[in-house]
Structure formats: C-alpha cells, structure tokens
Structure 1
C-alpha cells in the first residue's frame, strides 16, 4: 500500500515507517522538524529512513492548510497514519497555542485530506492522558473521559471527537490509539526515562515528582508499532450495536503492567550499574498519579498484547543511548 505517515521524524513515526517499509509498503512521510526537542535526533532518524528506496519525505507542517490540501491533491494514499502532534503535558502550560495549531487545526487539515480522497483507513495517535484523574483501574476505552487535566489531554480528546464526526458524516474508517508512556531506543529526550539515564550517566541529580509515588504503564516501542501494523488492515466497520453507526474505534495500547516510578528508576540504576542522586519533588500541574491500560479490546480484535518486560526494554534503550552518544561525542 501507499501509506502517509505524519510526524515521520518523531519517535513513534520513525519506527512505524521503518516497519511498514520492511513489510513492503511505500511510505510518504511528512514532518515539520520543529525544535521542541533535539532536531538533530529527528534528522538522524530521517537519514536512516531515506536509505530505503520506497520512502519519500517532505518537510510540511500539518497546521499549514494549503500545504496539506496540495499534498492530498498530488498524491494518492490508501491509509493515513497520523502521528504528528505537539507533545508534552508540562510544555502545554507555557505554550498553549502550539497545541491548538498542531493538535486541533493540524488534525482538522488531515481529516479534510482524508475526506477529499476517501481514505480507506485513518489511524491516529491519541493518549492515555485523556483519562485524567480516572479512579477506576485499569483504564477502559468505555470509561468516561470528559475531564482532562491538561490542555494536551484536552486536544487528544478533541481529536477523538473530531474523528468520530468525520467517520459518521463521511464514512471514513478511523482508529484512535491511546498510547501509554512509550519508551525505547531513539526515544524523545523530553521523556523522564531519557532524562534519568542522561543525568545518572553524568553523575547529576534526577528530579522525581510526587516523591516517586506515581505508577506508569511503560510500553516498549516495538509493542506499540506491532499494534499499529496489525491494525492497518483492520479498518473499523459500521456497527450500530456498539453505540455508534460510524466506522470508528478507540484502543488502548499499553503494557497492562504498571510499575511505580521508584521501581522504574531502580531498573535504570541496575542496568547502568550506577545509583541515582534523587531529588524528590511534589506533583506537577497536569500530571496524573497512575496510568493502567485495559487492553482487552485490542487483544480481542488483533490477537495482540504488549509483552516486552521492563528490564529488556530499558536494557535496549541504555545500549542504544551509550552507543549513540559516544558516537556523537567522537564527532
């Protein structure tokens, strides 16, 4: 298939495109290469993808309506995997308009492109952050998610609502994926695990919010991508019995085994062979104490559940981190 991957220079976008290419698909990737985190890391991911003959890249910001319209006029796509977004909870407290531009206007531009071309399947990134302060565990896609506690979460919930309206009005099959704390090699430097490893390696203290009394459903990147790949050929069907006649579906993709932040740090320490100097701090605005994915729907529909143990995933990340940054320091 000819597949459009937005945010292709991003962490999940890069691995998704790489695996789709391995499976014989033709990938057209777009990204704006913004400076939210290290642009060089994004360029390094792109360089690896550009070595594949069936990969094409174009520098496009999804909030640019004219550019997205032209993209869909000039190219024919079977499937769209929309992973471009302004990420980060804390960043949204200081830069709210970045989220409106990318996550709302940008997503609308993608939806309009899918409508104009009658795309077979739109898969898009949502987030576990939509669950907010949900007390019921594990978090189910059937739970009420009307009370986000960050602007980032609010935009992701809005994306799900926008997708449903287009599925209903134009019969565009859409699948939303609520990702749960994704980690692994080539990951985002703004994520806690990346910051922890970097600081511990440098002998610097690490900040631990809520005094370490948080739990996260850490999910390894390979498991996330396997879920996406399996869903590409499984567009949702219209089923009035599920509460909506629209070809619309939401899934959680999480490890289904949350661990405490302190256990997570202990695993990093054991892998590095070093002890962290811990700086305990209170909960930060927009953070949640727990994430825990109910993945029954995912397992039922695609016969898959994330399985990578934390120790394995952290080990692979540390191995990559040490190799990548030793190479950078030599250059």
Structure 2
C-alpha cells in the first residue's frame, strides 16, 4: 500500500469514525475509537496500542495494513463542553495550556520522524482532534512564547523550533530542548463534527493530520503535506476519495446548478445527490455546512465559514460567483 493511499485512508477513517463518534470522553476514548475504526475498515489489519518500539518511546497506535506499518500519535485537546450527544452525556474539562499542547503535538511529529527513519514504521501520522478554536486560528498576541509551535491554518512547520526567550520555567520545564524537524509540514485543518451542548450552542470539532513519509522518493505525504491528498475515483458521479464535506457538497451543488433552469437547488436535493454519490458524512454535518457554514448570508456561528452558497428562498440556494 503506497503512502498516498494511506493519506487517503486516514482521512476516510476519521470521516467514518465521526459518523459513529462525533465526540469522545477522553484521549484514551479517542484512541480506542480510532483503533476500532481502523479494524472495521481493514479486518485483516494488526493493531497495537501503547507500544514501546524502542527505549524511551511510547507509541499510541501501531497499525499494520497489507504489510505497511503505520505509527500513529494522537492528541485530544478540548475546551469545556457539557451536553448529551446521541443519548450519551459528555462533560469535557477546559484543558487550557495551549502553548504546552502545541509543543507536544510537534514533539509527536519529531518522534514519528525518528521511528520512520530508524525503520520501526513505514509511515507516521500525528492526529490532533480539538474543539478549541485557538488551535486553528492565528493568535492575536504580538510576541507569544510559543510562536514557533503555532498550528494555525496554513502554518508551515520546519527546522528547529523552540520557546521564545521570555518563556517562563514553569512552561518550559521538561520541554526546554528545541524540537528539530527534518521534514516540512503544512497545517491544514479539516472539519470532523459539530455537536450541540446543554445550552443549545454548537461546538465544532476539527482535526489536523501531519504525515511522515518513509523515503525522499515518497514525499507525496512527507513534505508540505497533510491528510488532504485526494485520488480521483474512476467511477463517474462519485466523490474524490478523502474529500471534505464542503468539497463533496460543492461538487453536488455544481451538478445540480448546471441542470436547473435558474441555477438553484434545495437542501433536500443536495442531500439526495451526495447520498447517491456515496457521501461518508452524516446528514447533520451536511445540513450544518449548507445552512450555515457555507452560506454567505447565514448568521455567523462558526469559527470557519465559506462564501460558497447563497440562500435565495426557504430551503433554496445557489452558488456564489
């Protein structure tokens, strides 16, 4: 299995996992859920949790699929949330300490680079899932202590990364050694799920995948990469493998608009069309994107919005531009 195929598959695993588990109680719960989803999609795979591949290194997940060894490090970084989702009550604490958590995400990538370089694994994945907008949004502080470790959308990670000189010892304790990356990684966040808390407020979960490839000849996922590598499905009318919910909705919208005399379409038509195409996303996710996240004249309730669609009547939309 090539590295590019694995890039597509990780995105698919998370997309399908979101349908069953849009939220988790803890990082251990997330780890177990991801391992379970891998096994469901790859019944012949071998999966081990909390392994120690080499001295001083503990790995969250080691997945072997068709002879390819995939090392996975996970982070579940949450802001406070209380609510009932799919009949199950969740109470997530506000973890804060975002600066330390950003450092530890990059430290995971350094660890994965080492495991791949020393041939303990063929490919590595750092997967971060969060409902804290502070991770994917650029910060507002002019000189933050963790500027080198920022993970906001579009950030490129490379080279030697360390704390700012004015960082306190309470923050840098046991984290004072600069992190050295051999590859270059682009931060591109993707939507995971949207859940509603006990006060009726929406909370968006997004994820960041950073991939470590095995050799210089396999840089399709190693250099300036993420989990968004897409492969065209040879069957017409089906979505790109690994496509986001937004991308699948846009493809369906373009087709519907092209066949409508006035270029408009309804939410129901969008849902029916992407179901026909084999969409992996839950109907609630699609509705949220069309009605709110992708609609230019909808109330702004999301951290990330797109000017893709315009509502022209009750339940009816058209493409913008």
Q: Structure 2-normalised TM-score?
A: 0.37
Q: Which has the higher helix share?
A: 1
| Bigger relative CO (Cα 8 Å, ≥ 6 apart) | 1
Q: Structure 1-normalised TM-score?
A: 0.36
Q: Which has the larger radius of gyration?
A: 2
Q: Which has the higher strand share?
A: 2
